[in-house]
Amino acid sequence: MIPVQGFAGKSVAVLGMGRSGQAAARALQAGGAQVVVWDDGQAGRDLAEAAGLVLRDLTKPASYAGITALIVSPGIAHLYPAPHPAIAAAWAAGAPVDNDIGLFFRSFATDDWDGFATTPRVVAVTGSNGKSTTSALIHHIMAESGRPAQLAGNIGRGVLDIDPARDGEVVVLELSSYQTDLARAMTPDVAVLTNLTSDHLDRHAGHGGYFAAKRRLFAEGGPDRAVIGVDENEGRYVANQLSQGPGDDRVVQVSSGQKLTEAAWSVFARKGFLAEYRHGRQVGSIDLRAIAGLPGAHNHQNACAAYAVCRTLGLGPRTIEAAMQSYPGLPHRSQLVAERNGVRFVNDSKATNVDSAAKALQAFARIRWICGGLQKDGGLDALLPHLPHVAKAYVIGREAADFARQLPGIPAEICTTMAQAVALAAAEAEPGDVVLLAPAAASFDQYDNFEQRGADFIACVAAQIADQPG
């Protein structure tokens, strides 16, 4: 646990009793704060009472008497589409609003660090797609190279639940737009923007607000090094804003598909090969094609970002390459779950938006595509250039018929359920095909989350394979 600094003897309110809210309450108490909490749901309030926390209805303005700050869980809207009543009440009372990310950055460094031979470092990763894989890959490379490391944030443990830093440790944080949008302090040593495509538009009042939330990671305090994906205009904008000129190698530009040789420091992947350039000269390269845990161009972009971070932290190219070879991949992200009679079954349930699904479709030559779910704003047009890879679509979800109508030029069968889709795709697949779950939609019409959807796919695949000869 990271005891929160700066609130000893003061009263602090915590809104939301999910994972991050519970951890924030414990960490505040460990730092000497007096904590009151609230959750809109009875289950959350029951958890709080069972943990011995003091409940107070924070939606009432009178509840902020004596409150120094309000700490908000990331799932709670603080501005768009409308501020939560408790946040509006905190504003009216003049109580500063923050989140666990802000608490972490004000509390992680301690006097113990004065005795360390190597100062701990914090790497923060954000972006629309690939941030989980990039974060996990950085952590894996650090661990494989013998550096102490922890993984937290939007993946793994909550930021305040991690252990106090060890000598030379690297803490890797995956941060969502919900987390970067509200944190009052963000001072990572290395900050990463993987890419930017439209997502969470209701929460940020459009694409511009979403980008502004991501950009705060680079504007609030500023990292010592920035690794920026420049395949979109927003990334190019951030890279330009941070750079002091063509020779400034504090910004590492990253691309999947572009050859970047003019920047002071760049890492890019083309045709399966990663290349590192510094001041116009190639200084490193890796053949990514045989790394099983990183299939497809989108994962090659993630590899470039992770490679760049590890280089800024002092690792050599061969050390990084060796560690990448053993990277197992993350569940629900281009996860190979089975292979039978020449047919591969791949679980990319995390492809919850059109852009991430498009990247998954580019990774394989002939696909039996399981797709559908709760559609997001913007439609499916961005998928159309990649449909030639699809032999047939098997559409699930309550909106299956509408989803299928938006897939011109390919056979599409309305299956509705995962079990029906997997059974039909497995029966019709030919050697060399990939049965790919890449929904291009949220899971909430049928599942609690994308993990549950992916687990259902895995279970259905296992059942099909058990029934097949060979």
Task: Specify the CATH number for the domain of residue 221.
Answer: 3.40.1190.10
Is residue 438 a part of any domain in this protein? yes
Residues 48, 112: one domain? no
Q: Residue 220 has what pLDDT? A: 86
Residues 271, 175: one domain? yes
Residues 383, 284: one domain? no
Task: Specify the CATH number for the domain of residue 92.
Answer: 3.40.50.720
- Single out the residue of 386, 401, 399 nearest to residue 436, CA to CA: 386
Is residue 79 a part of any domain in this protein? yes
Q: Residue 469 has what pLDDT? A: 57
- Compute the distance between CA of residue 302 and CA of residue 231 in angstroms, rounded to an integer: 12
Residues 209, 358: one domain? no
Annotated binding-site residue? 470: no
Residue 385 predicted with pLDDT over 60: yes
Residues 225, 296: one domain? yes
Is residue 6 a part of any domain in this protein? no
Q: What is the pLDDT of residues 449-458, one digit of tens each?
A: 999 999 999 9
Q: Residue 334 has what pLDDT? A: 86
Residues 304, 365: one domain? no
Rounded mean pLDDT, 22-39 = 97
Is residue 424 a part of any domain in this protein? yes
76 with 84: CB under 8 angstroms?
yes
User: Which of 98, 131, 146 marks a domain boundary?
Assistant: 98
Residue 468 predicted with pLDDT over 70: no
Residues 227, 319: one domain? yes
User: Per-residue confidence at 283, pLDDT binned at 50, 70, 90?
Assistant: very high
Q: What is the pLDDT of residues 218-266, one digit of tens each?
A: 998 889 999 999 999 999 999 999 999 888 999 999 999 899 988 999 9
Residue 27 predicted with pLDDT over 60: yes
Is residue 278 a part of any domain in this protein? yes
Q: What is the pLDDT of residues 317-366, one digit of tens each?
A: 999 999 999 998 888 988 889 999 999 999 999 999 898 899 899 889 99
Residue 375 predicted with pLDDT over 90: no
Q: What is the pLDDT of residues 153-181, one digit of tens each?
A: 988 789 999 999 999 999 999 999 999 99
N-to-C CA span, the chain: 50
423 with 460: CB under 8 angstroms?
yes
Is residue 179 a part of any domain in this protein? yes
Annotated binding-site residue? 133: yes
Residues 170, 264: one domain? yes
Annotated binding-site residue? 256: no
Residues 366, 226: one domain? no
Q: What is the pLDDT of residues 404-422, one digit of tens each?
A: 999 999 999 999 899 999 9
Annotated binding-site residue? 206: no
User: Which of 64, 98, 132 marks a domain boundary?
Assistant: 98
Residues 234, 313: one domain? yes
Residues 223, 308: one domain? yes
- Compute the distance between CA of residue 179 and CA of residue 20 in angstroms, rounded to an integer: 11
Annotated binding-site residue? 20: no
> Which amino acid type is present at position 298?
H
Residue 61 predicted with pLDDT over 70: yes
Distances (CA, A) of 121 to 188, 216, 309: 8, 19, 11
Rounded mean pLDDT, 382-393 = 94
Task: Specify the CATH number for the domain of residue 445.
Answer: 3.90.190.20
The number of domains in the chain is: 3
What pTM was estimated for this model as a whole? 0.85
Residues 246, 351: one domain? no
User: Per-residue confidence at 215, pLDDT binned at 50, 70, 90?
Assistant: very high
User: Per-residue confidence at 55, pLDDT binned at 50, 70, 90?
Assistant: very high
Annotated binding-site residue? 127: yes
Q: Which residues of 266-281 are buried (b: 16+ CB within 10 A; e: fewer)?
A: bbbbeeeebbbbbeee
Is residue 151 a part of any domain in this protein? yes
CB-based contacts of 204, cutoff 8 Å, min separation 6: 80, 177, 181, 210, 212, 213
Q: C-alpha angle with apex 301: 193 to 335, nearest 5 degrees?
A: 110
Is residue 3 a part of any domain in this protein? no
> What's the domain range around 123?
107-325
Tokens of 307: 């490679």
User: Which of 70, 98, 126 marks a domain boundary?
Assistant: 98
Write down the mean pLDDT value for the chain.
94
Annotated binding-site residue? 376: no
User: Per-residue confidence at 201, pLDDT binned at 50, 70, 90?
Assistant: confident
